[in-house]
Homo-oligomer: A and B are copies of this chain.
Amino acid sequence: MTDTALARLSVNQVTVRQLSLPELVGACERSGVGRVGLWREPVQAYGVAETAALVRDAGLTVTTLCRGGFLTATDPGARAAALADNRRAVDEAAVLGTDTLVLVSGGLPPGARDLRAARERIADALTELAPYAGEHGVRLAIEPLHPMYAADRCVVSTLTQALDLAERFPAHQVGVTVDTYHVWWDDRAPAQIARAGAAGRLHAFQLADWTTPLPEGVLNGRGQLGDGAIDLREWRHHVEEAGYTGPIEVELFNEALWARDGREVLTETAERFLTHVMR
């Protein structure tokens, strides 16, 4: 049971960002974790092909690459640069052998106040990116971020909005990421998870718990599983009822976890996953 349950777990690299890529691979082997989500910056620093070889040789599966997006610029030069960078992200995902690129859509440009127009610019950018991703066997997974990030990070604040965007494109090109940290407050999210599942657009499922008080900037206070207000088991049931059988990725931005020994955090995360999510 435990081995089967643990097989569902993917540890996102940022959860233990104090570990180098070889250290992460070693810690996963020791903890029995067979899947990882990766981030572009450390992968680029280590080398994309080198990372792909490292994880492949260790028998690890890459569940997602984080992240593309930031598609809300109005300036033509900035828009073109964002599109080019997202194409590179698709290329990197393909090299790493993951079929899922997580998208954080981007916030309001400086001085702008029109959320609807910004959301429409994302759709416009996806018109160019979605076919490119599809040709490379990569699915773009729009991640709605908590509404507290609407101004400066992601104007897509709900699963409803993310699916409204995704459904303009084929499901094998564009779907959504469900992260408990971002959607747990939303009483409509369970129905939207069902909508995503029925349409084959539930491309990634991530976990973090909600702890308070939130830190300044509200970026790095995502709680270790079981420490907060979210009924993580219930959210697992929601995605499973929607037909999702894929990896469950734990993605924690947490200064306190980063200050600890990364291997210890990874082991703890696997234990918490079994206790608070799978049991």
Interface residues of A (CB under 8 A from B): 108, 112-116, 146-148, 150-152, 157-158, 161, 184-187, 210, 212-218, 228-231
* A229 in complex: contacting residue of B151, B184, B187, B231, CB < 8 Å: B151
Whether the Cβ atoms of A187 and B151 lie closer than 8 Å is no
A186 cross-chain contacts in B, Cβ below 8 A: 147, 157
> A116 CB to closest chain B CB, in angstroms?
7
User: What are 19 A-to-B residue pairs whose CB atoms are below 8 Å?
Assistant: A108-B229, A112-B229, A113-B230, A113-B231, A146-B147, A146-B148, A147-B148, A148-B148, A148-B214, A150-B185, A151-B210, A151-B212, A152-B213, A157-B186, A213-B216, A213-B217, A214-B216, A214-B218, A215-B216
A229 cross-chain contacts in B, Cβ below 8 A: 108, 112-113, 150-151
Counting every copy of the chain, the complex holds 2
> Provided the pairs A157-B185, A185-B157, A229-B108 are in contact, do residues A218 and B113 lie with their beta carbons within 8 angstroms?
no
| C-alpha spacing A152/B214, complex, angstroms | 10
| C-alpha spacing A98/B228, complex, angstroms | 39
| C-alpha spacing A214/B187, complex, angstroms | 25
A115 cross-chain contacts in B, Cβ below 8 A: 184-185, 187
| C-alpha spacing A213/B210, complex, angstroms | 19
* A228 in complex: contacting residue of B148, B151, B216, B231, CB < 8 Å: B151
Kindly list the 4 A-B residue pairs having the minimum CB-CB distance in the complex, ordered from nearest. A150-B185, A151-B229, A147-B185, A148-B148
* Contacts A113-B229, A213-B216, A214-B214 supplied; 19 other A-B pairs, CB < 8 Å: A114-B231, A115-B184, A115-B187, A147-B148, A147-B186, A148-B148, A148-B214, A150-B185, A150-B210, A151-B212, A152-B212, A152-B213, A157-B186, A158-B187, A213-B217, A213-B218, A214-B216, A214-B218, A216-B216
A158 cross-chain contacts in B, Cβ below 8 A: 187
| C-alpha spacing A108/B185, complex, angstroms | 11
A108 cross-chain contacts in B, Cβ below 8 A: 229
A217 cross-chain contacts in B, Cβ below 8 A: 213-214
| C-alpha spacing A212/B152, complex, angstroms | 7
> A32 CB to closest chain B CB, in angstroms?
28
